[in-house]
Each structure stands twice: as structure tokens, then as C-alpha cells.
Amino acid sequence: MSIIPEERLNDLTNDEIGRYSRHLLLPEIGVDGQKRLKAAKVLLIGTGGLGAPLALYLAAAGVGTLGIVDFDVVEASNLQRQIIHSTRDIDRPKVASARDKIKGLNPNVTVKEYNTALTSENAFDIIKDYDIVADGTDNYQTRYLVNDACVLLGKPNVYGSVFQFEGQASVFYAGKGPCYRCLYPSPPPPGLVPSCSEGGVMGVLPGIVGTIQAAEVIKLIVGGDKGLIGRLLLFDAWTMKFRELKLAHDENCPICGKNPTIHELIDYEQFCGLKKNTAEKPIETITALELKARLDSGEKIQLIDTREPHERAIVKFPNAKAIPLGQLERRIDEIDPTIDTVFICKIGQRSIFAIKALEEAGYKGRMLNLQDGLNAWARDVDKSLPQY
């Protein structure tokens, strides 16, 4: 069953018949399926690693309207995988760069740009006019927001995620199968699962997973019934293996279960533990410029680089002692509690965990977190160092 109703279908032009000939030859798609693609409105959340192949293949396939939501600008470090953007697009809004590529590939596509973050305030407004949402986000708060908005609006949510060499994909469609919350009722504690910007990702991986999402979107539109509803596809690009898990609808799911407790969009930052807990002891921070000034004044400060050896091979922090995060508690005696200690990582996230871990282990010295990590040092103090 296609989710595009009959009354929205329009005839194909001769140009369209030529362009989509290889689809028209497939009985599973055919003229009827191609008309449904033409009538379909698909919203892509994110035009990054997953959004890039999604946007390109859906545009090529003749999806009539593509909405693209992204608040980011293109950075050089995106280009290793986000193939919808080009080197000359660096510093441009991602939605503008994506629109140009989509229009270049297929001028028949209507592109709607949303140069904004998806939030609890705007999600319903943006999503409500679309038939399908494809989630290409890279963070838990947006993923839960997309899920909840789709469940509450009754839209299918074509999900994908990637990390390092591993990806997953599914189709969440409340009423026909489980939702994201049925699979993951609560998010992991903040920082426990590193993001791709900290943990890395093989460039082709989002290409593979995003293309799987695009295939699922197309099948929902043309009426394929062998899709990923109720199945979680797991892919490992290093071992080149696919596995799959059967997903059951959870009747106790707080949003799509029998007695739901969530009836509207919530505060997802808070839900994901990203808001500061006022009861918790605040962590002292130091900026790169402040640290430079204190070091220049001759003050004795200990610098601890909490990154892994393979990351230190990218760029070293001058005069820092290397103790990877996982070894800190065991090597606590190597840190002198009588002088101030600054903890360093790539972007100032893992170093917060280093400080928390040492606090729990009973370390009594003063600890400071280098704000925005080594990248801030390279940006503000020593411009000869690379940012990564």
C-alpha cells in the first residue's frame, strides 16, 4: 500500500517518461509508482553524511518535493563523506549547497529549505505537510524529537545512524510497527556514546546507510511491503556483514504504547541529560587564551592529555602528559594534587569525563577543563597546529 493517495497523482510528461524509464520498466514501480514519487513530499532532517545520499538519490528518483532541514554550514571536515557538498561550498549554509546539487541533478524537484535546527517549537509546523520523514541526525535529542513528532503526527520515520564502521537502519511507523522509543526507551548518559566528531566515521559508511534509507523511502512511496518496518538492520563496514533484529512494538512504550504518557513534544535537551544539573558540582573551565596567559607567566600547571594514542598522532598538545581517559584512575598517582591541573581532549567533552572520574576516585587537587579542547588551542593560541 502506497502512502500517497490516488487523488494527488498527476500524469508524467514525456520528459519525465524519458528520465525515469528504468523505473517505469520495473513492474513494482511502473507508471503508477513514478506518479506517486512525483506527488510525494519527503522531509530530510540533516544534510550531512546520511542526508547527502538521501537527497541525491531521492532527487534522482523523481521525488516531487524534498524538504531539507539543517542549521550548519559546510566545513572542510564534512567533505570526507558528505558528498552533496563540494570544496567551493565551504562556509555556505548546507541547505543552500544541497539545494544547488539537487536542482542540478533534477530540476523537476521542488526543494524547500529550512535553515534552522529542528526544535520542539518548530517540528510540528515543519513536518506536518510531508508524507515521510527521513532522519539523518547525529544526536540523540533530535532523534527522539523526530521520533515523537512523527508518532504524534502519524508519519513514517525512516531512520539511520552511523558510528565508526557500524551503521543501523529501520523504519519506525507507529500503528504499523514499533517506534524509536520502543527500541531505545531512554537515551544513553550524555558523553557515554561519543559522536562521530570525536569517535570518527568511515566516509563510505553513511553513504551505504543513507542509500538504504533512500530505498526504504522509495518503497514506502511506491507501495513496497517488504521494508524495514519491525526490523533493525545492522551493518558493519569493517567485517562487511549485515545482521538484522526483529523489533516488536512495546505496548508500554511511553508514546506509542497502550497508555501513552507523552502527548506533546518535550524538552529533549533535558530528556537527554544535556541540561546542567544544579545540584552537581560545576566543573571549572579555562579557555585556551587564559591557559596561555598563565603558562606564559611562568606558573606551574600540569597538563593532562586524555586522548588516545592514535589521536595524539594527529597532533600533540605541547608539554602535556598523556594519560588516556580509560587509564586515569589507575594512574592517579602520576598527577600532583598540589598544583592546578588542566585536562585536555579534542573538543573539551571527554576531558569533563576525566575530571568527573577523578573526582569519584577521590582526587583532591584542583582540576580545570580546557574549554573546546585542543581545537580551541589551535584556533586561538597556536595557529600552526591543525584542527581536526
Residues that bind Zn ion (CB under 5 A): 179, 181-182, 253, 256
Cβ distance to Zn ion smaller for residue 184 or 238: 184
Residue with cell 571536515: 77
Minimal distance, residue 255 CB to Zn ion, in Å: 6
Minimum separation from the CB atom of position 178 to Zn ion (A) = 6
C-beta closer to Zn ion: residue 58 or 253: 253
CA gap 94, 113 in Å, rounded: 10
* Residue given cell 580545570 in the structure block: 368
Of 59 and 253, which has the nearer Cβ to Zn ion? 253
Sign of CA pseudo-dihedral 183, 189, 195, 201: negative
* Least CB distance to Zn ion at residue 145 (A): 14
User: Backbone dihedral region of 91: left (phi > 0), alpha (psi from -120 to 50 degrees) or beta?
Assistant: left
Decide: helix, strand or coil at residue 247. Answer: coil
Is residue 272 part of the annotated active site? The answer reads: no
Write the burial class of residue 355 (CB in 10 Å: 0-12 exposed, 13-18 middle, 19+ buried).
Answer: buried
Q: How far apart are the first and last CA of the chain?
A: 46
Active site residue 345: yes
Please say which residue, 261 or 297, places its beta carbon nearer to Zn ion. 261
Q: Which residue bears the cell 548518559? A: 189
In the bound complex, which residue of the shown chain has the CB atom lying closest to Zn ion?
A: 253
- How far apart are the C-alpha atoms of 304 and 13, rounded to whole Å? 65
Using CA atoms, how far apart are residues 329 and 207, in angstroms rounded to an integer? 39
Of 150, 182, 196, 253, which is the active-site residue?
A: 196
Distance CA 237, CA 234 (A): 10
Nearer to Zn ion, 103 or 231 (CB): 231
Question: With b meaning 16 or more CB within 10 Å and e meaning fewer, what string describes 91-123?
Answer: eebbbbbbbbbbeeebebbebbbbeeebebeeb
Least Å from the CB of residue 175 to Zn ion: 10
Question: In whole angstroms, how close is the CB of 248 to Zn ion at the nearest point?
Answer: 10
Closest distance to Zn ion from the beta carbon of 154 (Å): 13
Label residue 10 exposed, middle or buried (CB < 10 Å: 0-12, 13-18, 19+). exposed
Q: Which of 28, 30, 37, 29 is nearest to 10 (CA)?
A: 37
Give the shortest CB-217-to-Zn ion separation in angstroms: 21
Going by their DSSP bridges, the two strands 241-246 and 231-236 should be labelled as: antiparallel
**Residue with Cβ nearer Zn ion (132 or 328):** 132
Q: Between 232 and 256, whose beta carbon lies closer to Zn ion?
A: 256
Q: Which residues are catalytic?
A: 196, 345
